Amino acid sequence: MRTSIATVSLSGSLTEKLTAASRAGFDGVEIFENDLLASPLTPEEIRARCADLGLGVDLYQPLRDIEAVPEDEFARNLRRARHKFELMRRLGADTVLVCSSVSPLAVDDDALAARQLAELAHLAQDFGIRVAYEALAWGRHVSTYDHAWRIVAAAGHPALGTCLDSFHILSRGSDPKGIEDIPGEKIFFLQLADAPRLAMDVLQWSRHYRCFPGQGGFDVAGLVGHVLRTGYRGPLSLEVFNDVFRQAEAGPTAVDAHRSLLALMETVGATALPPPVVPTGIAFAELVTPDTAPVTARLAALGFARTARHRGKPVDLWQQGDARILVNTGPAARRDGTQLAAVGLESPDPAGAARRAEALLAPVLPRRRAREDVPLDAVAAPDGTELFFCATGHDPRLPDWRSDFEPVGHTPDTPGSAPGVTRIDHLALTQPWHQFDEAALFHRTVLGLRAQESVDVADPYGLLRSRAVTNADGSVRIALTVGAAPTDDTVRAQHLALATDDVVTAARRFRAAGGRLLPVPANYYDDLAARHGLPEEELATYRELGILYDRDAHGVFRHCYTTTVGRVFFELVQREGGYRGYGAPNAPVRLAAQHAAR
Amino acid sequence: MRTSIATVSLSGSLTEKLTAASRAGFDGVEIFENDLLASPLTPEEIRARCADLGLGVDLYQPLRDIEAVPEDEFARNLRRARHKFELMRRLGADTVLVCSSVSPLAVDDDALAARQLAELAHLAQDFGIRVAYEALAWGRHVSTYDHAWRIVAAAGHPALGTCLDSFHILSRGSDPKGIEDIPGEKIFFLQLADAPRLAMDVLQWSRHYRCFPGQGGFDVAGLVGHVLRTGYRGPLSLEVFNDVFRQAEAGPTAVDAHRSLLALMETVGATALPPPVVPTGIAFAELVTPDTAPVTARLAALGFARTARHRGKPVDLWQQGDARILVNTGPAARRDGTQLAAVGLESPDPAGAARRAEALLAPVLPRRRAREDVPLDAVAAPDGTELFFCATGHDPRLPDWRSDFEPVGHTPDTPGSAPGVTRIDHLALTQPWHQFDEAALFHRTVLGLRAQESVDVADPYGLLRSRAVTNADGSVRIALTVGAAPTDDTVRAQHLALATDDVVTAARRFRAAGGRLLPVPANYYDDLAARHGLPEEELATYRELGILYDRDAHGVFRHCYTTTVGRVFFELVQREGGYRGYGAPNAPVRLAAQHAAR
């Protein structure tokens, strides 16, 4: 199917928008009137630019407040429409969107609306143009798709059809099943947008909070299914008004937009993508650092051993139980400071995982970094984190990344032999502010992970939002986090949470080895006593070590934090009884303590 | 009356919040539980810090989900409460807030609620503590103030009273008149917040969008009037949850907060401030620039003449009609680049205007810059713009700022003698992102201007918001503008709009004198033709010069723009027939053209 995007969904000048849409792989665009008015290019130049970029001008939008008005007003509207049809001829656009009237002049008279729309379509036909009539959710008299369709049917003009818009239909709670009663050839256009479920005024909701399919709470795929069953074969076109996208760079937004459409098309069976290969564990996390000492001192105190060194690069492997951490002091480290730069995901089919990622527009990274390296499939996540698809010894036919490493003589503790770290529990990655929803969509569609609800966390200097993506058994958990504002660099900390079966002993061992744990205020423990009635002795231990405590319906969570190096800190976590969260209720105390420790 | 603020209304650590509240002049604070939990200070240290800062601990908040629960649950709640009462004794807080329960365990049984609250109050009394019971707008069974009061009355315990919160009352549309039925001594606390009128889920509305009284759409003063008539003499306390304040610096937020309370107290007759002195015109606008040539070339081409020079400073006065522009090349210019740094406002009582500003916490600037200068009353606006209160020849008893200037021989055109600029129509000032609402409140309360509705304007790289403040006859108009995000410096342009009776001739003259007007795309004029049916000749003129056109119910607006110097550009505007706006529908085209011209 043809994919299209409305220019209003992207930021920048019209030229920037067109370039971004083309690069992301769209087949066409809807040109939004204001983008054309503000462009120094003539309609002919815009047409040529689109042709050069391989983009069709699929829709010009919109004509407003046209129908069901007194005759003198309608005469003026026809005059205005003629101007626009002349413009569309120059632009090479053959479909115009007419939104149901919001004008106070409009009357509640379907027959009049039908007659005037037929007259408009008649004029349009002279220009080779089709009119697509759409019900705005806040239209004055016409606000539902079936109502708009009844008027189109009554008008009975070949150049008049309807335009369906998932936002206008689903935001009103209309049942999209009735779409199947419309003949496919009378659906002239299909606009798609998702939105978070918000109880707010529908006009504000529409203008500021729309998002790409799969990012919100609507069943956009279900709606598209109904539309396809009518025989509709026109474009799937994204029309997303969103305050964040307006500020974001057009290029990445267009890629995210196209990815959402591809995933949607897969869901409705309109395209076949390589199937998802869900990761089955975390193979490693890679830290880059310009100065190894603060990082390796923490790792050593946590009980990690340096077990191997890369044959060709300044990268060490530190291991404890099944937790593997690479410490890289290569060029990236000197550029960016200490941070989490890459994640290895265990994959039953690394090449398949990479094929799916590529089909969903993730940048594929070179398979070999150096000639002698083991080939590894890897892509870049939207935040720039490199994701490696690995087979760590689980399939002898697949290359093992560890072959690039030379043992250095130290062996890690056997899991269970000491009460240390058993595995990586989760990773927390800070996302670019403009792409928080895209990041969740990426991890869901590309990696086949499940996205949990997003939660707000109060930092002393603004609200953070956090959303976890996980596989079914929780062996892969990634917390995506974003700050309150685009510049919120005070909270751009990433962390690595390490699972242990005994956080108290692990914390004691860390301290005894010279590690410093984040101090937690005494007031926190007084409150814990008030809330949970824990034994005084247990509380005293938590107090001594700075261990935080949470409970959910499934179990108990105990956790503590190291101090921060660069952008990175470590967390020791002990999950019991199937606790599912990440200690979010404790996050404000942790964040305040981190600010205080700066 | 005593003024107080909840620590949750300010950003930062508890210490930072307390310092900011004290510096802004508050008498007390409500300490929010999470702020205490996250603080490394003990309750005793917090108490001492507050005492040092002259702050009372007026409320500790909150206890939640206490009442109308099964007995075993209530026993646990009492245990928890006892912990909190012990804490409050250490903290020196004698009133605790109890919010109506949102727990799924709570039952709809007022008698049970009253009995349990009385029992809680009985326990509190042992600690010298009073319990203030408040209805949350989203409480499970108790969500209105009168319901909460009925339960308090039924409980009949001397240590139990009610807490009223303007947000919870007004967001539900409750009639606040019934407040007068509550005896004043049973109102233990009064929390105040305003909010914009939003049709959204009340919990989200409350948690993210509250604002200070006078910034939103509620009649907070009316509510306070009812409360005062009961005989209530406790604190007026601000409790504002707001995503923007969470990120803003605590110091300025606290000042804005206290200003809003002072203005509220004035409205309800609880305090007397120097009366507002509404400005009657714009005496001058002052540009600072490190390089005069680009600015003065534009001024000269616009028809301004350099008429005088400051006796002691590198400041020139440029004049045309009643428009006066100071061009300052002093030290500030070298620091900040070309920008609008000060505004002179004609005032019938400059000293009175400054007294009011000072009473409303505006920083007062030194009356004399140099020993020989004429004394001038001036304050700083929240965005740093200096506001001078002037008497430009309208009262011989008052000093005239022009006495500091020495004529240089050029005389300006007499108004009307040439079709040039007659006066300054309006100024557009970019506001700090975190303080947009505060800026409007400042101009309204301090200067006595009227704030108009705020409008959204689409810039290619994000939405801008703009709000005009004006005096009654429109001789003072200031447009306050803010970008889409805290860092949105691409749009931090200020401008000076100059009124003319003939924008076409003024624009021609500017061009003929070598000035460059902002080019406007041809597509804009095609659309103008489609919309308004203007004569082709008139359109051709606009097209040639880049003149934009708008209409409202009152009249017509024609305007055009110079190119930008530093952060500043000029606009020529012609208002006809009482047009009231600022050409907002044309702003997207203008903004896109400005981006293109960069």
Minimum-distance CB partner of B458 among A34, A522, A588: A34
Average pLDDT of span B268-290: 96
Minimum-distance CB partner of A521 among B38, B204, B523: B38
Given a cut of 90, whether residue A199 has pLDDT beyond it is no
Backbone angles phi, psi at B558, to 5 degrees: -125, 135
> Closest Cα of chain B to A526: distance in Å?
8
A239 is in an annotated binding site: yes
pLDDT at B413 (0 to 100): 57
B529 interaction partners in chain A (CB closer than 8 Å): 83
Q: Between chains, do B523 and A43 touch, taking CB under 8 Å as contact?
A: yes
Minimum-distance CB partner of A37 among B460, B484, B589: B589
Dihedral Cα B215, B216, B221, B222, nearest 10 deg: 160
Name the E strands within A103-159. Answer: 130-134
Q: Which residue of B has its CA nearest to A591?
A: B38
The ipTM value here is 0.87
Q: In whole angstroms, what is the distance from residue A221 CA to residue A243 CA?
A: 24
- The larger pLDDT score, comparing residue A310 to residue A462, is at A310
Per DSSP, the residues of B203-232 read HHHHHHH-B-TTSSSS-HHHHHHHHHHTT-
> Closest Cα of chain B to A427: distance in Å?
24
B597 interaction partners in chain A (CB closer than 8 Å): none
Q: In whole angstroms, what is the distance from residue A329 CA to residue A289 CA?
A: 5
Q: Which candidate in A37, A77, A249 is best for mutational testing of the B interface (most B CBs within 10 A)?
A: A37
Q: In whole angstroms, what is the distance from residue A98 CA to residue A188 CA?
A: 11
Q: Between chains, do B13 and A596 touch, taking CB under 8 Å as contact?
A: yes
B79 interaction partners in chain A (CB closer than 8 Å): 530, 533
pLDDT at B433 (0 to 100): 77
Q: Between chains, do B11 and A462 touch, taking CB under 8 Å as contact?
A: yes
Q: Between chains, do A83 and B533 touch, taking CB under 8 Å as contact?
A: no
Backbone angles phi, psi at A576, to 5 degrees: -135, 140
- The larger pLDDT score, comparing residue B484 to residue B151, is at B151
Sorting pLDDT into bands at 50, 70 and 90, what band is B486?
low
Q: How far apart are the first and last CA of chain B?
A: 53
Quote the mean pLDDT of chain B: 92
B239 is in an annotated binding site: yes
Quote the distance between the C-alpha of residue A69 and its chain's center. Answer: 43
Minimum-distance CB partner of B521 among A40, A87, A460: A40
Backbone angles phi, psi at B54, to 5 degrees: 75, 25
Given a cut of 60, whether residue B489 has pLDDT beyond it is no
Given a cut of 50, whether residue B298 has pLDDT beyond it is yes
Burial class (CB in 10 A: 0-12, 13-18, 19+), B305: middle
Name the E strands within A556-597. Answer: 556-561, 568-576
B593 interaction partners in chain A (CB closer than 8 Å): 38, 40
Q: Which amino acid is at B566?
A: G
Q: Between chains, do A243 and B463 touch, taking CB under 8 Å as contact?
A: yes
Q: Between chains, do B199 and A198 touch, taking CB under 8 Å as contact?
A: no
Q: Single out the residue of B332, B399, B387 nearest to residue B362, CA to CA.
A: B387
Q: b vs e for B21-32, b when ≥16 Cβ sit within 10 Å of the residue's Cβ?
A: bbebbbbbbbbb
Quote the mean pLDDT of chain A: 92
Minimum-distance CB partner of B247 among A247, A461, A519: A461
> Closest Cα of chain B to A104: distance in Å?
14
Average pLDDT of span A362-370: 85
Q: Between chains, do B38 and A488 touch, taking CB under 8 Å as contact?
A: no
Q: In whole angstroms, what is the distance from residue B485 CA to residue A21 CA?
A: 24
Q: In whole angstroms, what is the distance from residue A140 CA to residue A129 CA?
A: 26
pLDDT at A490 (0 to 100): 47
B485 interaction partners in chain A (CB closer than 8 Å): 247, 485-487
Given a cut of 60, whether residue A270 has pLDDT beyond it is yes
Return the percentage of chain A with pLDDT > 70, whole number.
97
Q: Which residue of A has its CA nearest to B593?
A: A38
Given a cut of 80, whether residue A369 has pLDDT beyond it is no
Sorting pLDDT into bands at 50, 70 and 90, what band is B487?
low
- How many CB pairs lie under 8 A apart between chains A and B? 152
User: Which residues is B457 bridged to in the sheet?
Assistant: B464
Instruction: Give the angle A413-A415-A420 at the CA atoms, nearest 5°.
Output: 70
Token pair recorded at residue B158: 């001397």
A141 is in an annotated binding site: no
Minimum-distance CB partner of B461 among A12, A33, A527: A12
Q: Between chains, do B461 and A247 touch, taking CB under 8 Å as contact?
A: yes
Q: How many CA atoms lie within 13 A of A592 on its CB side?
A: 26
In eight-state DSSP terms, residue B270 is: S
**Order of strands across the sheet with B548-551?**
B450-459, B462-470, B477-482, B421-430, B494-500, B568-576, B556-561, B548-551
Question: Phi/psi class of residue B244: alpha, beta or left (left: φ > 0; alpha: ψ in -120 to 50)?
Answer: alpha
Q: Which candidate in A459, A461, A598 is best for mutational testing of the B interface (most B CBs within 10 A)?
A: A461
Q: In whole angstroms, what is the distance from residue B249 CA to residue B410 CA?
A: 47
Name the E strands within A349-418. Answer: 377-380, 386-390, 405-407
pLDDT at B193 (0 to 100): 95
Q: In whole angstroms, what is the distance from residue B303 CA to residue B322 CA?
A: 12
User: Residue B493 in 3-state DSSP?
Assistant: coil
Q: Single out the residue of A339, A330, A328, A343 nearest to residue A376, CA to CA.
A: A343
Contact B120, B66 (CB under 8 A): yes
pLDDT at A512 (0 to 100): 95
Give the model confidence (pLDDT) of A134-162 as tens digits: 999 999 999 999 999 999 999 999 999 99
B458 interaction partners in chain A (CB closer than 8 Å): 34, 246
Residue A493 Cα distances to A388, A431, A443, B13, B376, angstroms: 22, 10, 20, 19, 50
Residue A458 Cα distances to A252, B20, B78, B254, angstroms: 28, 19, 28, 19
Average pLDDT of span A385-410: 90
- Sketch out chain A's domains with CATH numbers: 3-267 (3.20.20.150), 281-407 (3.10.180.10), 421-597 (3.10.180.10)
User: Which residues is A161 bridged to in the sheet?
Assistant: A132
B45 is in an annotated binding site: no
Q: Which residue, chain included where needed, has tokens 């265990």?
A: A346
Sorting pLDDT into bands at 50, 70 and 90, what band is A75?
very high
pLDDT at A546 (0 to 100): 97
Q: How many CB atoms lie within 10 A of CB B580?
A: 15
Q: Which residue of A has its CA nearest to B205?
A: A200
Name the E strands within A216-314. Answer: 236-238, 281-288, 305-310
Residue B119 Cα distances to A164, B87, B94, B153, angstroms: 60, 19, 17, 14
A91 interaction partners in chain B (CB closer than 8 Å): none
Q: Between chains, do B485 and A486 touch, taking CB under 8 Å as contact?
A: yes
pLDDT at A43 (0 to 100): 97
A454 interaction partners in chain B (CB closer than 8 Å): none
Q: Between chains, do A458 and B34 touch, taking CB under 8 Å as contact?
A: yes
Residue A63, C-beta contacts closer than 8 angstroms, at least 6 positions apart? A77, A80, A81, A84, A96, A97, A98, A99
Q: Which residue, chain included where needed, has tokens 């006809």?
A: B576
Q: How many CA atoms lie within 13 A of B117 on its CB side?
A: 37
Dihedral Cα A589, A592, A593, A596, nearest 10 deg: -160
B571 is in an annotated binding site: yes
Backbone angles phi, psi at B592, to 5 degrees: -65, -40
Given a cut of 50, whether residue A376 has pLDDT beyond it is yes
pLDDT at B432 (0 to 100): 80
Sorting pLDDT into bands at 50, 70 and 90, what band is B490?
very low
Q: How many CB atoms lie within 10 A of CB A58?
A: 25
B491 interaction partners in chain A (CB closer than 8 Å): none
> Closest Cα of chain B to A214: distance in Å?
23
> Closest Cα of chain B to A82: distance in Å?
8
